[in-house]
């Protein structure tokens, strides 16, 4: 099993090639999988070129991995809108990858780690680590008894 598609949060059939450069940049070329326009659902479109986007995956101890993706643009002939395929490397409106978030959550599982120490390891602010913890950690609910009798009430009688 190839771990890179799992790391990139992409199905392996979408990846055409993965190349690594000597300076530590990983280039990933994806296969086209657009069948129709997401706006008008018409199938006539043409390619409008590429744009490059660089994602940074933060690793522990101030190390980072850069992923440079060439993302294809499409222009649809019927509705005249342009569109590109999302990569799903990061959650919507987030700048940190799923792999980094998973690393943060795994680091917080250790009993000797604090928010501040994990933030220092990943070169993030403590507030950012707390925000991810609040968003992605869902402990099981603990229900109180239906009838709660306080000790103060018992001492009066």
Q: What digits encode the pLDDT tens for the residues 104-122?
A: 999 998 888 999 999 988 8
What whole-number distance in Å separates Cα of residue 14 and Cα of residue 5?
9
pLDDT at 157 over 60: no
Q: Which of 78, 71, 74, 29 is nearest to 52 (CA)?
A: 71
Q: Confidence class of residue 3 from pLDDT cuts 50, 70 and 90?
A: low
Q: What is the pLDDT of residue 115?
A: 93
Phi, psi of 52 (to 5 degrees): -100, 140
pLDDT given at position 60: 65
Q: Which residue has the tokens 């009993």?
A: 111
Nearest in space to 7 (alpha carbons), one of 72, 49, 67, 84: 67
Name the residue among 102, 92, 87, 95 with its Cα closest to residue 26.
87
Q: Give the mean pLDDT of the chain.
A: 77
Helices (H), 22-78: none
Asked if residue 36 has pLDDT above 90, the reply is no
Asked whether residue 126 carries a pLDDT value surpassing 50, the answer given is yes
User: Where does the pLDDT of residue 155 fall: very low under 50, low under 70, confident under 90, or very high at 90 and above?
Assistant: low
pLDDT 10s digits, 49-103? 888 877 777 776 667 777 777 778 888 777 888 877 777 777 777 777 887 888 8
pLDDT at 117: 92
Tell me the pTM.
Answer: 0.58
Contact 40, 57 (CB under 8 A): no
- At a CB cut-off of 8 Å and minimum separation 6, what does 71 contact? 30, 50, 51, 52, 53, 84, 85, 87
Q: How many Å apart are CA 55 and CA 70, to the nearest integer?
A: 11
Look-up: residue for tokens 């609910």? 141
């Amino acid at each position: 099993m190839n771990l890179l598609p799992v790391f990139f949060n992409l199905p392996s059939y979408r990846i055409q090639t993965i190349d690594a450069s000597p300076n530590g940049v990983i280039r990933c070329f994806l296969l086209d999988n657009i069948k129709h326009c997401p706006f008008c659902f018409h199938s006539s479109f043409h390619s409008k070129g590429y744009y490059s986007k660089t994602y940074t995956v933060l690793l522990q101890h101030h190390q980072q991995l850069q992923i440079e993706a060439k993302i294809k643009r499409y222009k649809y002939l019927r509705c005249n809108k342009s569109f590109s395929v999302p990569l799903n490397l990061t959650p919507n409106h987030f700048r940190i990858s799923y792999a980094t978030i998973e690393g943060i959550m795994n680091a917080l599982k250790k009993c000797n780690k604090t928010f501040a120490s994990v933030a220092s390891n990943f070169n993030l602010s403590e507030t950012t680590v707390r925000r991810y913890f609040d968003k992605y950690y869902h402990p099981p609910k603990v229900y109180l008894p239906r009838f709660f009798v306080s000790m103060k009430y018992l001492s009066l009688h």
